[in-house]
C-alpha cells in the first residue's frame, strides 16, 4: 500500500490545482496587512465546499498540522499570518451568495463573499448591510465574523456580531455545527454562534453565514466640523445626539488631515485650520431634521466648541467628506505605522485620551503621532509613524516598550486593548490588560473543547500551550 506524504494527501482532498506551494503564493496568502511577522506557511489550500473544509480539518488532526484561515487578508492584528509552517486555508473559492430572503431580511453567504458585494446585493433589494469600513472592497465575511469587525457605523448599528443570524462551522475536531438556525428568538441554552464571532478561527472555521439586513437609510447627510481642541469633541457629540439619530460620529487630528490633503486628490473641507475634526452623519429625511442640524451647529459655534464646518449638499460631496476619514489608514500606510486600536466607554474618552497622549508625547518625542477613530463609540486609533532613518524592526521594538504604559492606562479605565482589530499575535502578549486571569483560563478551556489537538490558528489570541 502506498502511503502518501501529508501534502500529497492534502491534494487529494480538494480539486486539482487547489494546493499551492510556490514562493509567491506562500508569501501572498501567508500574511495580512500587518508587517510584524514574515509569512512562512508550508502550503495554501483552497476548498470549495463544506465537505472539503471538513476533510482538511480531519487531515490536519491526523497529522497534527496547524491550520490558519485566510480571507481578504486585510487584518491588522496578524491573526491571519502563517509564520510557523502552517497550512493556510484560503476561502477565495467559497464566495457565493446562496440565498436572499427579503421577508426575513437575510442573506446566506459563503465565507469568501466580499463585504462590498454583500452591501451592493442589499442595495439591489432596497435593503442595507451596515457594517462598513475602509477595507470593505477586499475584506471577506468570514474574516469579518472571525474578528467581529466594527467600522464607521457602530454608533448606530453595532458590530458584525449584531448582524449574524446563524452560522455553519467546522470545529477544530472536524464536526459540522449549525448554530442558531437564523432565528430571532431562541432560548435553548448556550448560543455557540457567539463564541465563533471574534474567535479568529481558533475554535474552527466559519463555512456559511446568514447575515441580517436592515432598511436602507434615506438621504444620508454628513457634516465635517473643526473643533477648538479635543475637549470640545464630546460636547459636540452630546449636542448632536440630543437632536439627531446619528449614523456615524468620527474624529481625526490635523496631522491626519494633512496626510490626506497631501495626496492631492481630496479637497479640504474648509480653509480654517483646526487641531481636531469630527465627521458626523445622519438621515436628513425632513426639513425639520436639517434645521435641527444647522441649529445645533450654530449652538456649537456659540459655545466655542466649533470653529468652522460644512454640510454635504450632494452625493458627491458626501463621498468627498467621507474620504477625509476613510482614506487615512490607506494613506499613512506609507509610513509603516505602529497601530493601537483601543477603547473605553464613551464618557471616559476625554480623560483617557489625555492620559494616553501625555505618555505618547513623553516617550515618543521624535515620532509623528496620528490620531483618528470612531470616537462616538469610544474607539480611538493611535498611529505612530516610522521615521525614515529607523529600520522596521528597531521602530517596532521601541513602540513595544511603550505599549506597557499605554495598556496600563487602558486597564486603569477598564478599556480594551483591541476594540475592533482583534488580538492575533500583535496583541496576544497584552491580553491580560483587558481580560482577567480567570477569564483567560476559561477562554483556553473553551478552545480545548472545540480544538483538542490545538491545530486551529495556534498562537493567536494566546500563546501555544
Q: pLDDT per residue over 407-421, tens digit each?
A: 999 999 999 999 999
What cell was used for 227? 473643533
- The region, left, alpha or beta by phi > 0 then psi within -120 to 50, assigned to residue 37 is beta
Q: What is the pLDDT of residues 229-261, one digit of tens each?
A: 999 999 999 999 999 999 999 999 999 999 999
Kind of pairing, strands 246-253 and 368-374?
Answer: antiparallel
Q: What is the pLDDT of residue 36?
A: 84
What number does CATH give the domain 336-437?
A: 3.30.70.2740
The residue that leads in pLDDT, 423 or 357, is 423
Distance, CA of 194 to CA of 329 (rounded, Å): 29
What is the structure's pLDDT at 363? 87
Domain boundaries, the chain: 6-90, 97-215, 220-329, 336-437
Q: What is the pTM of this model?
A: 0.95
- CATH number for region 97-215: 3.30.465.10
Query: Per CATH, which fold does 6-90 belong to?
Result: 3.30.43
Average pLDDT over residues 214-235: 97
pLDDT score recorded for residue 35: 80
pLDDT digits (tens, 9 = 90+) for 273-292: 999 999 999 999 999 999 99
pLDDT at 465: 66
CATH code, 220-329 = 3.30.70.2190
What does the pLDDT average to over 21-32?
A: 97
| Whether 37 contacts 84, CB under 8 Å | no
Q: CB neighbours (10 Å) of residue 5?
A: 9
Alpha-carbon distance 345 to 411, whole Å? Answer: 12
Q: CB–CB of 189/96 below 8 Å?
A: no
Cell numbers standing for residue 455: 491545530
Cβ atoms of 289 and 244 within 8 Å: the answer is: yes
Asked if residue 394 has pLDDT above 60, the reply is yes
Topology match between the domains 220-329 and 336-437: yes
Amino acid at each position: 500500500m502506498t502511503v502518501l506524504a501529508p501534502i500529497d494527501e492534502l491534494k487529494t482532498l480538494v480539486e486539482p490545482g487547489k494546493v499551492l506551494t510556490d514562493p509567491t503564493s506562500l508569501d501572498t496568502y501567508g500574511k495580512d496587512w500587518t508587517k510584524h511577522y514574515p509569512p512562512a506557511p508550508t502550503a495554501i489550500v483552497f476548498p470549495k465546499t463544506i465537505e472539503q473544509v471538513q476533510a482538511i480539518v480531519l487531515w490536519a488532526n491526523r497529522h497534527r498540522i496547524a491550520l490558519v484561515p485566510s480571507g481578504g487578508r486585510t487584518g491588522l492584528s496578524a491573526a491571519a499570518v502563517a509564520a510557523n509552517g502552517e497550512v493556510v486555508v484560503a476561502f477565495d473559492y467559497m464566495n457565493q451568495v446562496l440565498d436572499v430572503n427579503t421577508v426575513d431580511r437575510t442573506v446566506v453567504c459563503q465565507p469568501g463573499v466580499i463585504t462590498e458585494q454583500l452591501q451592493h446585493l442589499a442595495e439591489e433589494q432596497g435593503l442595507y448591510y451596515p457594517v462598513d469600513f475602509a477595507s470593505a472592497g477586499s475584506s471577506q465575511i468570514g474574516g469579518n465574523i472571525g474578528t467581529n469587525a466594527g467600522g464607521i457605523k457602530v454608533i448606530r448599528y453595532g458590530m458584525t456580531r449584531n448582524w449574524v443570524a446563524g452560522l455553519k462551522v467546522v470545529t477544530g475536531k472536524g464536526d459540522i455545527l449549525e448554530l442558531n438556525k437564523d432565528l430571532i428568538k431562541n432560548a435553548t441554552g448556550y448560543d455557540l454562534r457567539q463564541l465563533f464571532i471574534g474567535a479568529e478561527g481558533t475554535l474552527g472555521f466559519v463555512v456559511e453565514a446568514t447575515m441580517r439586513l436592515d432598511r436602507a437609510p434615506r438621504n444620508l447627510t454628513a457634516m465635517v466640523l473643526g473643533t477648538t481642541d479635543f475637549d470640545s469633541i464630546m460636547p459636540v457629540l452630546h449636542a448632536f445626539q440630543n437632536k439627531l439619530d446619528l449614523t456615524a460620529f468620527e474624529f481625526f487630528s490635523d496631522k491626519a488631515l494633512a496626510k490626506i490633503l497631501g495626496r492631492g486628490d481630496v479637497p479640504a473641507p474648509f480653509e480654517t485650520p483646526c487641531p481636531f475634526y469630527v465627521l458626523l452623519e445622519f438621515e436628513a429625511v425632513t426639513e425639520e431634521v436639517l434645521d435641527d442640524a444647522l441649529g445645533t451647529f450654530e449652538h456649537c459655534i456659540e459655545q466655542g466648541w466649533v470653529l468652522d464646518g460644512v454640510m454635504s449638499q450632494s452625493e458627491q460631496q458626501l463621498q468627498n467628506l467621507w474620504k477625509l476619514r476613510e482614506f487615512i489608514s490607506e494613506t499613512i500606510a506609507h509610513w509603516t505605522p505602529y497601530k493601537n486600536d483601543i477603547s473605553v466607554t464613551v464618557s471616559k474618552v476625554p480623560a483617557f485620551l489625555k492620559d494616553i497622549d501625555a505618555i505618547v508625547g513623553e516617550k515618543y518625542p521624535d515620532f509623528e503621532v496620528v490620531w483618528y477613530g470612531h470616537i462616538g463609540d469610544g474607539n480611538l486609533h493611535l498611529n505612530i509613524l516610522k521615521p525614515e532613518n529607523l529600520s522596521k524592526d528597531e521602530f517596532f521594538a521601541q513602540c513595544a516598550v511603550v505599549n506597557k504604559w499605554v495598556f496600563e492606562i487602558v486597564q486603569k479605565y477598564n478599556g480594551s486593548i483591541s476594540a475592533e482589530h482583534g488580538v492575533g499575535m500583535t496583541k496576544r502578549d497584552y491580553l491580560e490588560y483587558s481580560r482577567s486571569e480567570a477569564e483567560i483560563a476559561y477562554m483556553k478551556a473553551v478552545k480545548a473543547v472545540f480544538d483538542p489537538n490545538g491545530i486551529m490558528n495556534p498562537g493567536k489570541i494566546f500563546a501555544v500551550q
